[in-house]
Structure 1
Amino acid sequence: MIAQRLLRPDLAAIEVYQPIVPFEVLAERLGRPIGDIVKLDANENPYGPPPGALAALAAGRHYHIYPDPDANGLRQAISRYTGAPASCLLAGMGADELIDLVLRAVLMPGDVVINCPPSFGMYPFSTAVNGGRTVAVPRRADFGLDAAGIAAAVAAEPRAKVLFVCSPNNPDGSVVDDATLRRLLALPLLVVLDEAYIDFAEAEGFSSRLSWVAEHDNLVVLRTFSKLAGLAGLRVGYGAFPDWLLPHLWKIKQPYNVNVAAAVAAVAALEDGDWLRDKVGRLVAERERLARELAAFGFLQPYPSRSNFVLLRVVGRPALALKRALEEEGVLVRHFDKPGVDNCIRVSAGRPQDTDRLLAALRAIIAREASHE
């Protein structure tokens, strides 16, 4: 067969990444208008983009022209916002593209990437797509990193090249401390620190490690506009990279990887810092309310989180059945059933009215169950 002759054989073994089902598809399946669905399953910012970003998009005049391949305006705006030199920054079509670019730049077929599950599923997925091999070092029961286990894995794998660390971690919201990160940076491999959710941790006194890139030639830090600025649909992220790696990423990235609309919206969003900080504060407050109110149900056990979501272990009932029951009430949450997060759901922080709908849905489910006893 032609497929056997032409297709990369390793692709057949890759586990398909499972994205969130599109809003419109779920609305049709549930028989509800989109406006009647509370979406708490993908850690999106329910407040959407800042008004200035929407105004900038409406005023855009050059959507018919190819974008700046260097994204100079965007990188300068990120530099002003973060304090990192624009020369060390690269923008991408979401942080996902930057994950793929890093792996394309450093992996040879069979090279090893260290992953610390449970964590973001794109790390092993992109490793497999780039011909690498994932070695898992599971997190501890409290979701802390097993630094000794990581060091042992690196020592046992001479082809280990990359370590992914997500902080705050998805799906639990835990953060890596300075001492642990420094211990990991002493290992002979590239540490990719994914800070997609760092803005919510910063609101509580935790710091980004973006400035650490200047001090460590084996550190990459990735960030995104999806959570902070409500731009998940426009796909724009950025990273800070060491000097030896960055020129090669510039060589292999798609020339026009950040589209004009995404760049326009991102620059305008960064100019509205007060709006961004206000919404981050609201989401942090709502996350805390979620953890408190959901724990009162008894069968939901929340884990501490420094992000814009709460991971909950479901006790005494199937988490998947609970997710589906909530769907029938028009409330969407994420279900997990993998090692470390077996029988769990993850609930994104929303607006106060979104939390109200979730709580009402849970009460309706409990009342319905009681009536059938």
Structure 2
Amino acid sequence: MTIVAESGPVSAPPRPAARALCPLPTAVDPMALALNENPFPPLPAVRTAMIESVQAANRYPEFLPETLRHLIADHLGVPDEQIVVGAGATGVLVQVMHAFTSPGDRVVLPVPTFEGYPIASAMTRLDVVKVPLLADGHHDLDAMAEAASGARLVVVCRPHNPTGTVESLGALEGFLSRLPSDTIVILDEAYVEFVAPQWRIDALALLERFPNVLVLRTFSKAYGLAGLRIGYAIGSWPLTAELWSMQLPFGIANIGLVAVDASYRAENQLRQRIRMITAERRNLRTRLRAMGVASIDGHANFVYLPGGDRPWHEVFDGADGVRVKHCADGGVRITVGGRSSTGAVLAALRRAER
């Protein structure tokens, strides 16, 4: 067949070949150590609930995620009105920026940090004020407080991504006390489940004292549901009311709701998995230390090797399959996986020393 155009006959383009099925990532890839994913597939009860939910895939989810909101609020012991949900913690972050900022407003970020923050800031056309971390991987809270003058948003991660450090409650309270009451502080607790009890803080009590704080959490890390994209924020009613008014209709799939419900019911098994991950984190740091490799004492599901004289991009170049996160400051963040993942990391280091 030919198509006749004004300039003369033109041959019809060839028909595209049949489209192949989209390949899915394997559930357990011991070499995938760049995204801080949980190395385990969803818990058995969670998988069962997710499979059963597929039977209702022809039906819309709730217009607004009232049931999921209630589930999370009930689990935390707060009123439903203090919870807002979104497509992962990053989705909630974008909601926050849309709700409370205008183009040209300033946001204060520690650097390096989770790359979603500068991306979301660019999407919402915010001016980013970058405050470098201290040498030990902690936030420079004094410098951040000074930079926050006139800023609309300030971000603090606890544990921090990519270093895994946690700020003390006293330091955090002192920092918050120095900020204007109309400056919104995002306290990112994406990895809070991996923090040992002695390092935990009562974020809900913090919200009562500082109503300009929004606590950001996710089901992507400890809960192992990164592929479902479910995150939430806890905050004071004036902030969450504004966010809820902008909640995306039909924005949370039914499979996410049932997965969260099943995860909460399997909390004991979840805690066991968290203990396995934190134990392997200690093992990895111990083995690294025995090789003379310094790492920051982190509290998440990853280990951070600071930049310096050692060219980490040559050690972890991906040629052997080990995929880690290379950070802008020259450091490298390594997700904690299983014992085979630890072995692959150590083997890469040994090869680089030859």
Query: TM-score scaled to structure 2, two decimals?
Result: 0.86
Partner of 1:301: 294
* Superposed displacement of residue 358, structure 1: 2.7
Query: What do the CA deviations read for 1:162-221 (whole angstroms, capped 9, x no partner)?
Result: 100111000000012112221232211111100000100145542351442233210100
Unaligned runs of 5+ in 1: 1-22, 28-32
| CA 1:178–1:46: 2 relative to 1, 3 Å | same
Matched residue type, 1:271: R
What's 2:212 paired with?
218
1:323·1:334 contact (CA, 8 Å) conserved in 2? Answer: no
Aligned residues of 2:81 and 2:237 also touching (Cα < 8 A): no
Indicate the SS of the match to 2:135. Answer: coil
Give the 5 Å matches for 1:19-38: 38=31
Unaligned runs of 5+ in 2: 1-21
Q: Distance in 2 between matches of 1:242 and 1:35?
A: 39
Measure the CA separation in 2 of the matches of 1:64 and 1:99: 29
1:312, 1:345 within 8 Å by CA — same for their partners in 2?
yes
Higher share of residues assigned helix? 1
Q: 1:1-373 to 2 correspondence within 5 Å?
A: 38-60=31-53, 61-155=55-149, 158=150, 160-186=151-177, 187-188=179-180, 189-203=183-197, 205-298=199-292, 300-313=293-306, 316-324=309-317, 327-336=318-327, 338=328, 341-342=329-330, 344-363=331-350, 365-366=351-352, 370=354
Give the 3 Å change call, closer, same or farther, for CA 268–177 of structure 1 in structure 2: same
Task: Give the C-alpha shift of residue 273 in structure 1.
Answer: 0.7
The structure-2 alpha-carbon separation of the partners of 1:263 and 1:151, relative to structure 1 and needing over 3 Å to count, comes to: same
CA RMSD of aligned residues (A): 2.3
Residues 267 and 356 of structure 1: is their aligned pair in 2 closer, same or farther, counting only changes over 3 Å?
same
Shift of 1:314: 5.7
Pairwise CA distance, 1:294: 1.6
- Counterpart of 2:215, as a letter, is V
Q: Give the AA of the match of 1:185.
A: L
TM normalised by structure 1 equals 0.82
Aligned length: 329
Is the Cα contact below 8 Å between 1:147 and 1:183 reproduced in 2? no
Q: CA deviation at 1:82?
A: 2.0
Matched residue type, 1:167: R
Asked if the contact 2:107–2:129 (Cα under 8 Å) also holds between the matched residues in 1, the reply is yes
Supply the AA of the counterpart residue of 1:68.
Answer: E
SS of equivalent residue, structure 2 residue 271: helix
251-260 vs 111-120, which moves further: 251-260
Which has the larger displacement, 248-257 or 203-212? 203-212
Mapped partners of 1:84, 1:349: distance in 2: 32
Q: In the superposition, relative to structure 1, how do residues 357 and 144 fare at CA in structure 2: closer, same or farther (>3 Å)?
A: closer
Structure number with larger C-alpha Rg: 2
Please report how far the alpha carbon of residue 53 of structure 1 lies from its aligned counterpart in structure 2 after TM superposition: 0.9
- Which moved further from structure 2: 350-359 or 267-276? 350-359
Taking a change above 3 Å as real, the CA distance of residues 241 and 286 of structure 1, as seen in their structure-2 partners, is same
Percent of residue pairs identical = 33
1:34-79: CA deviations, max 9, x gaps?
Answer: 9775211111101121111101011113221111133222222222
In 2, the alpha carbon distance for the partners of 1:36 and 1:107 equals 39
Distance 1:230 1:34 in 2: 11
- The answer as to whether partners of 2:81 and 2:241 remain within 8 angstroms in 1 is no
Deviation of 1:307 after TM superposition, in Å, equals 0.6
One-letter amino acid of the structure 1 residue matched with residue 312 of structure 2: A
| Worse-superposed segment, 200-209 or 211-220 | 200-209
Deviation at 1:360, TM superposition (A): 3.4
